[in-house]
Amino acid sequence: MNVRELMLVAPVIPVLVIDDVAKAKPLAEALVAGGLRVLEVTLRTPQALDAMRAMSDVEGAIVGVGTALDGDDLKRAQDQGATFAVSPGFTPELGRAANSINMPLLPGIMTPADIMRARDEGFTELKFFPAAQAGGPSLLKGFAGPFVDTVFCPTGGINANNAKDYLSLDPVLCVGGSWVAPKAMVDAADWAGITKLAAACESLRS
């Protein structure tokens, strides 16, 4: 899948911080059962790469790497089964590294200049980050005018209560969020509860 296709799979891409590899596979199974198949595993813990490998074995799961900062991050994640990447920002070097290994990349942006730099390198599917802190839905509305062919996945400060505010905007194809896999529920192995949270996301597009 290319990035735009990935963004259309479900309204929410779970942003996952995994510190126990044993919980990676059941977490992926719970999210997929609730309809969230595109999973972003952030490189914020030493266990992240092993978690990607475990989650890649789950039928229906589309596993990607988050918090990717350079080409080495992309390659290490790809070797562990990641099929796409998400970054907090964008550099031409990162974009070229992703293209060189055929890794679909959803790069982060926060300003009009960021968007223009990404577009110069051929990227028109972008992560708006940190969304709440940067200006939220109102700033995205401003972006829609000059950047008519650019679409966004806002991430950062998004939850079940405000996700609709973003998803109601035409340029927003999906949002990223961690509320569908709260740490307390993961620690408690409450997989049924996580599946319920994931399933509730389908109503966010209505």
Q: List residues with catalytic annotation.
A: 40, 127
Query: How far is it, in rounded angstroms, from Cα 85 to Cα 67?
Result: 8
